[in-house]
Chains A and B, each alone.
Chain A
Amino acid sequence: GAVVSQHPSRVICKSGTSVKIECRSLDFQATTMFWYRQFPKKSLMLMATSNEGSKATYEQGVEKDKFLINHASLTLSTLTVTSAHPEDSSFYICSASGRDEQFFGPGTRLTVL
């Protein structure tokens, strides 16, 4: 299957700082990427749908000014958690859409102190 990378895999930051997470599709062009948040032993919660060249579509309850998404190219989408707080600590996973399958990145563990 296709390869999707995420960087960084782990990040620890202080409360109030911003953190950027990158999601790359390495061997195919993804017009659509998805960002999920996952709490321990819980399901994948869709945060937003990221379309190349246009504004992201956010799910209800997800603050677009808090979670900034940029999809500037067909192989890269970024999620920036602005002014992070401890409650933002979570596992963030991106996925890139193929013909009908989604290929997931390895995830980013964010810890906000």
Chain B
Amino acid sequence: GENVEQHPSTLSVQEGDSAVIKCTYSDSASNYFPWYKQELGKRPQLIIDIRSNVGEKKDQRIAVTLNKTAKHFSLHITETQPEDSAVYFCAASIENTGNQFYFGTGTSLTVIP
């Protein structure tokens, strides 16, 4: 089965700096890679996703890159703000197969004002 690894497990950055979280996956059949943000005690919320037919996607301060050959994808947050502090999870799945997601272990991001 799919195995998703995520690094780092914790990350602290100064407000305004960039944050990068990296994930690797093992199953070359995976073709959908969402990123979720989870605040303490709340549900995970989708913040951005990417499919295997593109290499990069951007939405305002958030971007995701995908390297299919190396089987890794990364989340980039620029101009970080305190409200970006949360736990971020990457996931990998194969579309149209019941959408089972394999989650990474999570990154706890702290943005220091």
Interface residues of A in 93-107 (CB under 8 A from B): 93, 97-98, 100-102, 104-107
The verdict on B25 contacting chain A, using a C-beta distance below 8 Å, is: no
A98 to B99 alpha-carbon distance, docked (Å): 8
Q: Is the CB of A44 within 8 A of B99?
A: no
Complex interface: chain B residues within 8 A of A32 (CB): 98-99
Q: Is the CB of B100 within 8 A of A46?
A: yes
Q: Is the CB of A106 within 8 A of B100?
A: no
Interface residues of B in 31-61 (CB under 8 A from A): 32, 34, 36, 41-46, 49
Tell me which of B11-19, B75-83, B104-112 binds A.
Answer: B104-112
Q: Which residue of A lies closest to B99 (CB)?
A: A97
Complex interface: chain A residues within 8 A of B34 (CB): 101-102
Q: Which residues of B contact A (CB under 8 A)?
A: 32, 34, 36, 41-46, 49, 87, 89, 93, 95-96, 98-106, 108
